[in-house]
């Protein structure tokens, strides 16, 4: 008698999964890209000859290069630990070579205090956004500017 409940439950799950796949397979959102107008013969000449290419260096290769100070293609133990030593030295306030919890917590409490501009003891979403890790901006691709609507009409 119990097998009927199990069979009913499994069949219900299969029907839900089939319905999900069926509806998601057909639903395609419209493309947010605007269709490019047909180019006139005169505009084709203004395009650059070479297509801009992305850098082949990955994020990991760039990170490796930051550590490889002598640029010999290998990161030695000293090169690797140099970055850690700098960060550790900044936290070790009394320079005794040991990091206490209080010394470690100073960075977090300082960061919170700097972000809490209204000194309310809590951060709103705008204040919290200032605590995000700052990343260096990626260089933009050197692409030609898009033609203005006036240029397309002529």
Contacts of residue 130, defined as CB under 8 A and 6 or more positions apart, other chains included, come to 114, 115
Residues in the chain: 154
For residues 87-91, give the mean pLDDT.
82
Percent of the chain topping pLDDT 70: 70
Asked if residues 112 and 127 have their Cβ atoms less than 8 Å apart, the reply is no
Q: Over 70: is that where the pLDDT of 110 sits?
A: yes
Percent of the chain topping pLDDT 90: 0
**Cα–Cα distance measured from residue 21 to residue 5, given in angstroms and rounded to the nearest whole number:** 24
Instruction: Return the ∠ at Cα 64 (arms to 58 and 66), rounded to 5°.
Output: 110
What's the confidence (pLDDT) of residue 32?
60
Average pLDDT, the chain: 76
Contacts of residue 138, defined as CB under 8 A and 6 or more positions apart, other chains included, come to none
DSSP 8-class letter at 56: S
pLDDT in tens, 120-150: 888 888 888 888 777 777 666 666 677 766 6
What's the confidence (pLDDT) of residue 83?
76
Q: Percent helix, strand and coil across the chain, each rounded to 5?
A: 50, 0, 50
């Amino acid at each position: 008698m119990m097998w009927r409940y199990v069979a009913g439950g499994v069949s219900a799950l299969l029907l839900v999964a089939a319905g999900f796949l069926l509806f998601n397979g057909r639903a395609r959102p419209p493309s947010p890209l605007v269709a490019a107008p047909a180019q006139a013969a005169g505009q084709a000449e203004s395009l650059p000859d070479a297509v801009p290419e992305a850098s082949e260096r990955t994020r990991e290769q760039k990170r490796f290069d930051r550590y490889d100070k002598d640029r010999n293609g290998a990161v030695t133990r000293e090169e690797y630990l140099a970055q850690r030593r700098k960060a550790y030295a900044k936290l070790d306030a009394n320079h005794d070579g040991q990091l206490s919890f209080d010394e470690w917590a100073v960075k977090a409490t300082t960061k919170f205090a700097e972000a809490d501009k209204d000194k309310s003891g809590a951060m709103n979403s705008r204040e919290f956004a200032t605590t995000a890790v700052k990343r260096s901006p990626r260089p933009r691709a050197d692409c030609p500017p898009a033609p203005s609507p006036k240029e397309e009409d002529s």
